[in-house]
Structure 1
């Protein structure tokens, strides 16, 4: 038992950033290499966020040994650096810049080659100029295709890079031979064609697709970086009665921290002294700051407002609520695979099949080709590789996505990646956050109910209320001040002013006291509340309003109802989603009474109140376990975990940067009616991708047998390599044209 226990303690799990992966097949290679390494019990690779994890026995291996193993397979992992995520991000950014430069230069050189090959093939030295211009396009700007193809070949695998390298490489070498020794074909009665333009344009197009992929990858870690930015770098710790500024990494459990107004709370803790309002919207999603006093809990990342606090650190570093949010967002993001994985899987079968067909074609012609066996064998096998070029396959997804994204932008829908468009049409459960999503997210005065006062008296006490709330620190005071200012209220100087903790405020004017606060304050001061106002207060509470009472020493003078209004289009959006067969849920950190009122107003029957961020993410997981494809719509940091966990994540454009960064779709408008439009756009885009893939393959299904010469025995027909190149180009044109049709569709 002791040996078993010791062995389990020596097994650790670590995650490492990976570099050098270009496709899902690469991820598979890294994973299989890790799993076969000595001492490794289990391993996995996530291509989406370019990380690998390994469970290994520390007595048998270590990260440096794992790094050497991975390097032997042609890849690398980042170990023993202070901030591996930053190193990986810097490498991604550098790789993106390099890919962009290669794409620009390859396109610039490929364009004149294309013009010469298509329109000016008879100009002097046309072949020589094309040969010189194509050389750097293939073997310098497009060198990554050949390097990656070689890596795959070493492990007995093939991917899209393999087919690109083979088809362009053979086409170029064949064209160089025809340029240098045209008499070889002339002596056999055949005109020597060259295919420089096909090779150059293929590489330029595929590089463009790689550029789009790299751009998406360079942004994958920005959500985590922004969340980390919510934690200050230094804090003030109280030691021996003296304040001392220390790095946050040095804060330990039990440290006493001094917090000033406006500062962000660095760690989770418990208040020792002081009182303040704290903006906890990143956790609860609710816009109204929370009153905090002695023995109340504080959470990292939330913002202290007006008071000074001293609190003891209870959870630091990776134990804080913010750290857990960061971790869960990272895990949920990393659990997703890009849509290109499907194409790579297809290519994993398609590429070996095409190569096999080309080889079999060569062998068959050498055996049965007669006196021109070698000539026909060489031409037909090259024609097979040329016509099977994956240009259309490589363009099928990105062109549809590019047009779909543009169509979305026209309709105030910003789409971040292809996966959201791929899954959007499958959504059958949609979760809405309340505050800032269904509602406007900003407390406003919805109604002021006055007691029986004359107009002159009402104007006077309005000015008194305006002045009173101007001095109040309560978060709702701003809403009242703004409302009364719009009504023309003016400030009146008070004789004295007093803040009454957790109840309201009191001020004296010409010897008489005035109060503004909650019902508890009215009851404590034994102020009369007439039946009419009491009934109105009850009705307003039932409609999810917060009610502020304004009174003099004897009577309540007015009720001020404050609420977060439902957006104009929310009800229609919910109805439309239901008509589309989608189950709509509402999750909120607000109280049950408010949640019930809002849900009833917009027509949502499934709702849950008083939920924490992690509980929102758990709710998403539960729906996913039931087999549902879940879309989450939110606007705050508190929604980021659920957004990252959901199959399709949608952020409101006026929400937090974190929500918009985690979400794969952002609605520029605050109108929820854009959600059904986004889901319809997904359906149309996916249909277009499927059509593109069909056209990409139908050319190969028809063209490859023709290129191999299946009709030669019947009618002597052999497909000319130049026609094969044109057919390949036509397949790309048909794919692009089909994608452009998306622009004319209505959402």
Structure 2
């Protein structure tokens, strides 16, 4: 069959690659432009400041030529700083004005623009001011220095965005550029972008897997830690799924491609991280609302400051300096950076640790959780039943190896999950016994299987079914009682009308479950076990891992109702952790749905947080990261608000009547830039975050 009919090509214009390239190019272009403008602004501003030194120091004549210290020279030097280097501030302010609103650009443009215009009037009409007894001073250096400092803040912000997107770039770099694909029976090296769904790809030791697929031939150990956080290589053989960008450690194998392009696990991870970094939290929306009314209030305060000082002093230059200082120091750049910078850093750090947040709101809400509901099968347990006990009755007529061969032959016809566990156990322990031919086979729904092998009737199923069939099950009662106390499911075996043995089957608890539950309780959360299994089985599992509250025997469709009931009882916010198709409604109903990355696509799609490795340690790690992030955001907002609350009165001249000291607009600009730098630096501290309990990601 031709591969052309088996799927669509992953075209070279992969949406994920296009978006990544576009974002990187846009950021690189922005950084280049900002560096160029900041360099020009720094040189010109340095010359303007040098030109004003004689005036500021009270030195006249001698060491600097008169043409250099002239207001006209300062005008020529400062004008490009404002209207070329700082052009975006003025165009942004004009755009806001046309929308009848105001923003950070408004304050910067108004503060520097007024200082420059006042200086221009003093340069063009100095006699007009001196005739009124006012000094014809110019403040070109003030406007230039402020613009240069604000540009420095913008450059730092852009660099921070680049650093917080590093996790995405590192993820994208994991995928190899080429794949070795069999075409017409020949292995050919082709670009990954041209691989089709259904292609057979060969992977050699030490190579990265180019795409997602299912192993068809060969076996190996594959390291998936860079994507799932699984710390040790995972054995892969025919029928096992493999993930693109994981590393093949030992053997050589071939796999059939199942996902390409934007459908691959890697592309989906990248897209989820991008969505989280571009989304908004409730705190950020509140901050945006605050900025919306804060800017007009500041402008009103600045105008009032100008009027008061002009009426008190009659000095328009002094009043203008106070006005400019208020506008500049109140610029809420730090307020605008407080939340998004922290969200970008935390989302990227989460991706490095195998924690994918679908939105910033999920990152925010996770820290305030009060109740964690854990699904049992596939979440607390491995989700793959295993035979834990094989008990034969004394005096059995059938030898152990022969009995296991009979059971393996019969149960291999069944599709029941417990049958798979019995077959795996029996075939691994039957020795050299050859499986006999099964003459007849019948699956008794909910009861067991009935077969004829070599003329003998073989039954494997529940005790109640065997007893109802007229068999004497009493000899098994002590064994069954012991197994059921240990929360084992029991399957009895009867050959030719005689009970021979029974199997104890259990879904093993994940090795990390005990530590994860202990960590959740240490974080102050109530942990609830939710299961559709029998209450006795659920209670044994819960007691083993340290969970007190158990809600068992819940039908799949009722799990969402259980979550809703917990919310209505005031135990929210509630998080649901699950992995199966039947967990999807509950995941969507909870304030935070946490899906195991090893679960179904539907569960992952319905969740707010995905644990790529399926490791339960990711649950407390996600909550830790959320709490650390929200603490950082609160610190940033405090820095921003405290800075403005303390700075505006001083800039408005509160200390001037008492001390004669006024806040120079240049110092106000420097303080504003320092505030933004402190917020960005505080957010970048999140890059050092490490889960207290376990590293759950491979990029960390």
What TM-score comes out, normalization by structure 1 length?
0.61
What are the within-5 Å matches in structure 2 for residues 663-682 of structure 1? 663-682=607-626
Alignment match of 2:467 (pick from 523, 531, 539):
523
Q: Provide closer, same or farther for how the CA distance between residues 147 and 410 of structure 1 changes in structure 2, counting only shifts above 3 A.
A: same
1:351 matched to 2:299? The reply is: no
Structure 1 position 198, deviation (Å): 4.8
Structure 1 position 390, deviation (Å): 1.6
Structure 1 position 539, deviation (Å): 3.0
Report the equivalent of 2:413. Answer: 471
Structure 1 position 659, deviation (Å): 3.1
1:393 matched to 2:335? The reply is: yes
Q: Provide closer, same or farther for how the CA distance between residues 175 and 482 of structure 1 changes in structure 2, counting only shifts above 3 A.
A: farther
Alignment match of 2:41 (pick from 117, 122, 125):
117
Q: Would you say the 8 A contact 2:103–2:292 is kept in 1?
A: no
1:635 matched to 2:635? The reply is: no
Q: Would you say the 8 A contact 2:119–2:137 is kept in 1?
A: no
Report the equivalent of 1:368. Answer: 312
Q: Would you say the 8 A contact 2:377–2:507 is kept in 1?
A: yes
Which secondary structure does the structure 2 equivalent of 1:188 belong to? coil
How many equivalent residue pairs?
523
Give the root-mean-square deviation of aligned CA atoms: 4.2
Structure 1 position 131, deviation (Å): 4.8
Report the equivalent of 1:501. Answer: 444
What are the within-5 Å matches in structure 2 for residues 72-221 of structure 1? 105-118=29-42, 121-122=45-46, 127=78, 130-131=81-82, 133-134=84-85, 137-138=88-89, 147=95, 150-151=98-99, 153=100, 162-171=102-111, 173-174=113-114, 183-184=123-124, 188-193=136-141, 194=144, 195-198=146-149, 200=151
Deviation sequence 1:578-622 (CA, Å, 0-9, x none) = 344432222223333332332233333322223346643333333
Which secondary structure does the structure 2 equivalent of 1:676 belong to? helix
Q: Would you say the 8 A contact 1:358–1:382 is kept in 2?
A: yes
Return the alpha-carbon distance in structure 1 between the equivalents of residues 119 and 401 of structure 2. Answer: 95
Structure 1 position 654, deviation (Å): 2.0
Deviation sequence 1:264-295 (CA, Å, 0-9, x none) = xxxxxxxxxxxxxxxxxxxxxxxxxxxxxxxx
Q: Provide closer, same or farther for how the CA distance between residues 473 and 440 of structure 1 changes in structure 2, counting only shifts above 3 A.
A: closer
Return the alpha-carbon distance in structure 2 between the equivalents of residues 115 and 192 of structure 1. Answer: 18
Please list every run of 5 or more consecutive structure 2 residues that lacks an aligned counterpart in the other structure: 1-16, 49-75, 127-134, 166-279, 693-700
Return the alpha-carbon distance in structure 2 between the equivalents of residues 606 and 535 of structure 1. Answer: 29
Return the alpha-carbon distance in structure 2 between the equivalents of residues 170 and 705 of structure 1. Answer: 18
Return the alpha-carbon distance in structure 2 between the equivalents of residues 664 and 175 of structure 1. Answer: 49
1:621 matched to 2:561? The reply is: no
Structure 1 position 407, deviation (Å): 4.7
Q: Provide closer, same or farther for how the CA distance between residues 655 and 717 of structure 1 changes in structure 2, counting only shifts above 3 A.
A: same
Q: Which has the higher contact order (CA 8 A, sep 6+)?
A: 2
Structure 1 position 466, deviation (Å): 1.7
Q: Would you say the 8 A contact 1:138–1:200 is kept in 2?
A: no
Return the alpha-carbon distance in structure 2 between the equivalents of residues 174 and 100 of structure 1. Answer: 37
Return the alpha-carbon distance in structure 2 between the equivalents of residues 389 and 433 of structure 1. Answer: 49
Alignment match of 2:403 (pick from 450, 454, 461):
461
Q: Would you say the 8 A contact 1:99–1:210 is kept in 2?
A: no
Report the equivalent of 1:598. Answer: 541
1:439 matched to 2:381? The reply is: yes
Return the alpha-carbon distance in structure 2 between the equivalents of residues 487 and 199 of structure 1. Answer: 74
Q: Would you say the 8 A contact 1:205–1:391 is kept in 2?
A: no
Larger radius of gyration: 2
Please list every run of 5 or more consecutive structure 1 residues that lacks an aligned counterpart in the other structure: 1-92, 215-335
Q: Provide closer, same or farther for how the CA distance between residues 599 and 178 of structure 1 changes in structure 2, counting only shifts above 3 A.
A: same
Which secondary structure does the structure 2 equivalent of 1:431 belong to? strand
Return the alpha-carbon distance in structure 1 between the equivalents of residues 162 and 394 of structure 2. Answer: 70
Structure 1 position 109, deviation (Å): 1.9
Q: Provide closer, same or farther for how the CA distance between residues 511 and 610 of structure 1 changes in structure 2, counting only shifts above 3 A.
A: closer
1:611 matched to 2:554? The reply is: yes
Which secondary structure does the structure 2 equivalent of 1:476 belong to? helix
Deviation sequence 1:106-140 (CA, Å, 0-9, x none) = 44322322233346634798656545654664477
What are the within-5 Å matches in structure 2 for residues 234-633 of structure 1? 338-370=282-314, 372-373=315-316, 375-409=317-351, 411-452=353-394, 457-487=399-429, 491-494=434-437, 496-502=439-445, 503-523=447-467, 525-529=469-473, 531=475, 533-612=476-555, 615-628=558-571, 629-633=573-577
